[in-house]
Structure 1
Amino acid sequence: MAKRTRIIEGTWNCTSCDAKGILARHKRCPTCNNPRELSGDESDFDFGDVDAESGKSLREGVTDEKAVELANAGEDWFCAFCGAANRGDHPRCKHCNAERESDSKVGPRKDLSGPAPAPAPPPKKKPRLGGWLFLGALLLCCFGSCLYSGWSNQTHDYPGEVTGTSWKVAVVQERFTRVEKEGWADELRQASARMPVNGAGEIAGVENVRGCVERQRGTRKVADGTERVCRSKTRKVACGTEEKCRRRDKGNGFAEEVCEDVTKYCNESYEDCQNQTRYRNEPVYARRCTYDTHEWRKVDRREASGQDGAPRWPALQVGPQDRQQREETYVVNVRYEDDGVKEQVLEPKTESEFLSWKKGQGVVLTVTNGGEVKKAVPR
């Protein structure tokens, strides 16, 4: 595709008299006649904005023959003696007539290949005093919480005394009883029952399977034909051409712009259709049967409770097919002094633990600053 080339002229600002927008063809300021120098902002040319879509410069291209000749003269060089800017094809400084040295400096070039720079963000507002106060309060709260957590977990030992004990126990009598249940035929395995001996060694058994009938056990998915399913999608397609441009800094206040027509791509909507299998739920049937088995069932329960002494378990008459289950709850009340008289309730888990506590007995309690009792040991 054919390329189109233009020369774009930049502008510079004089730092001596603060003149703005001076055309690059002027090596001296038209206002104060000072030469353009390498230092400061005088070598920073402004080439104007570009179109966001095409990248084409919004400035008109240079058509003046002298300006075009200046643009093609090569990058500017700066005199080592007076600092003035000179055309790239001049061997002597136009300001002081000094010869161009082999190490004479040239102006920096801008990278004009990318998109135009984004506008600078607005200056951040200074935080208000209220914001600083809130931040300080938040930090103080977090720091204080950490300090409190560490302090509250510190422990101390305190002497105490058992002021009383109490207990509540129960004996539950269960009997291995023949019962009737239902189950799925494919899960039932015939097995003879075995009665317990001294409340153990029993087998429930599966006997006398009978009365099997068809019942719905669940559902399953089965294919029920096909259906056409379409989804809307988009894709990129060629839709003509569009102009795209790029610029290159020539190092002398001018930029070369090259534009060409490239293929343009647009989003096209289309329907993506496929045949998919349709499913339906179908009931699944199986045989449900009645059968005989055994299980433990409660036939009696006796309770007892008391204070300050060993628990007295109630008695039950247990048959050969019976067993006993025990239930127990124990409480030990302790008084100790920690910035005043305090009460603590201990709950031993077993009878042997409970029997290690007696009314009037001394005890040492390990307590945190937060008031949590970590340990209690009888003395």
Structure 2
Amino acid sequence: MARKTVGYVHMEWTCPNCGSRNPGTETICGNCATPQPDDVQFEQVAQEKIITDEKLIERAKAGPDIHCPFCGTRNPANATQCSSCFGDLSEAEARQSGQTVGAHSTKAVPDVQCSHCGTMNIGTATHCINCQSTLPKKKPAQPAKSIPRALPARPQRKISPLLLIVLFIAIAACAVFFFLSMKTEETIGRVSNVSWERTVSIEGLVPVERETWEDEIPVDGLVGGCQEEVRYTSNFPEPNSQEVCGTPYTVDTGSGVGEVVQDCEYLVYDDYCSFTIDEWRVVDQVSTSGNNFAPEWPTPNLGLEQREGDYEEMYTVVIDTDG
């Protein structure tokens, strides 16, 4: 499927040193000044909004940020000198990118209560407006796991004597039937009658209605009505196609900005038509029969635009036995 960009959104990361939540574009923790390590991943914010800042969008398109090989500070992908220690970034390693972080969500989030002072804050806040403590990030509730109850032990059943007797009789009957079916006897008989019948089909050109795609109609076909139907799906836009996209989701670009994308395919429509064309069909049959040992084929009298079709024959022999 083709991937279509819907837009770009802010992300955030949690400082492993103090637990503070930081905007994705900030490379150093705003609380303890610890640089974001390369193994600390970006996360979705509580409520995503499409970014309109062209500078941030260009930063996301430039590629994943790189970490200074000397001090570990995160720098933009196109940086050549570390913003912290001024070291050379030619050997810097790029952050991991391209992983899906979750479905794109624009729904309003409920207010969150500070676990330190109890103040209520808007759901998108990362720090308490009263005491500046880091606010907890709500996680989706996990479904409770049901513990299966132990099944009661099955009581052992005893086989009744009557069932054993019935089973023995059934096996014995099968053995007798098999023995009798294998037995052969010599039988003397004589042919009392023979008969035969031979048939030749006569085919003629008959108008038949069929359906197919417009560009596959034979040149001698008479086109009837047509309607548009889906002929195939494509990963790319094509003439007379309809775009069908899945649920938007956010992908980590490695820059602190997430790319919201959709997986799309294109339903390509074409004309599916009915048409009429002449085809060879059975229009008549001629037969010959007899009771001798010299069967013969009938001679069909063909008309205009007719031809011989399938040949069929059937033989019957009656045998009388002495017993």
The interval holding the TM-score normalised by the smaller chain is 0.3 to 0.5
Q: Higher strand share goes to which structure?
A: 1
Structure 1 length-normalised TM: 0.36
Compare CA radii of gyration and give the structure with the larger one. 1
